[in-house]
Amino acid sequence: MPSALDTAIRTLLLPVKPGTGSEYGLRAEEIMDALGVTEDKADWVMLEAAAWEQYGYPTQEFRVFIQSLLYSTDRDPKSFIIEPAALGDEVTGNRVLQEFSGRYFNLHKRVMEEEKVGHQAAKRVLSYVHTMMLLATGGRMTASRIYSILLADGITLSKSWSTPRFILDACGLRQEVLAADIEAIYNDDLAAEPELLGDMTVEEAIAHVASVCRTFGYDGDLHDQLRTLLIEDLHTPYLCMLHFQLSLLQLYNHRLTNGYEFSPRGEGVLWLTNRYNMAGLNVGLAPFLNNAKSVDTLNEGWASSKKKKERHAARAFTDLLAELDRLSDPSRSAAGLYLRGILHRIIRVTAASGVGLSHVIPAFSPGSAASLIAAVGAGNTGTRGIIEQRLTDCISLHEAGDLALWRLRGFGDSVFTTNTSRKKLGDSELKHTVDPLIIAVEAHGGRLTEKYVQEHLFTMRNVMPMRVEELEDRAPLADWSINLRFYAHELDPAMTTVVDVLGVSVAIDYFRFSDLAAVDTTAGIAAIMDHHFANELNEIHVHPSIRQKVIGMM
- Low-confidence spans in the chain with pLDDT less than 70: 1-2
For 49-80, the pLDDT digits (tens) are 999 999 999 999 999 999 999 999 999 999 99
149 shares its domain with 184: no
**Bridge partners, residue 431, by sequence:** 407, 438
Residue at which a domain ends, from 146, 171, 196: 171
* Residue 526 resides in a domain: yes
Residues 234 and 156 occupy one common structural domain: no
Same domain? 324 vs 387? no
What was the pLDDT predicted at 1?
A: 44
CA atoms within 13 A on the CB side of 266: 16
- The CA distances from residue 399 to 305, 394, 415, 520, in Å, are 60, 9, 21, 11
Angstrom distance (rounded) from CA 391 to CA 397: 10
Concatenated DSSP letters for 478-537? GG-EEEEEEEEEEE-SS---EEEETTEEEEEEEEEGGGGGGS-TTTTHHHHHIIIIIHHH
Q: Is residue 360 part of a domain?
A: no
Within a domain: 138: yes
311 and 409, same domain (yes or no): no
pTM, to two decimals = 0.91
Collect all residues with Cβ–Cβ distance below 8 Å to 153 and sequence separation of at least 6. none
State which H helix or E strand residue 437 sits in.
strand 437-448
Number of structural domains found in the chain: 3
Choose one of 286, 321, 355: the last residue of a domain: 355
Model confidence pLDDT, tens digit, residues 219-276: 999 999 999 999 999 999 999 999 999 999 999 999 999 998 998 788 999 999 999 9
Domain that holds residue 269: 179-355
Q: What beta strand segments (E) does 184-246 contain?
A: none
**249 and 157, same domain (yes or no):** no
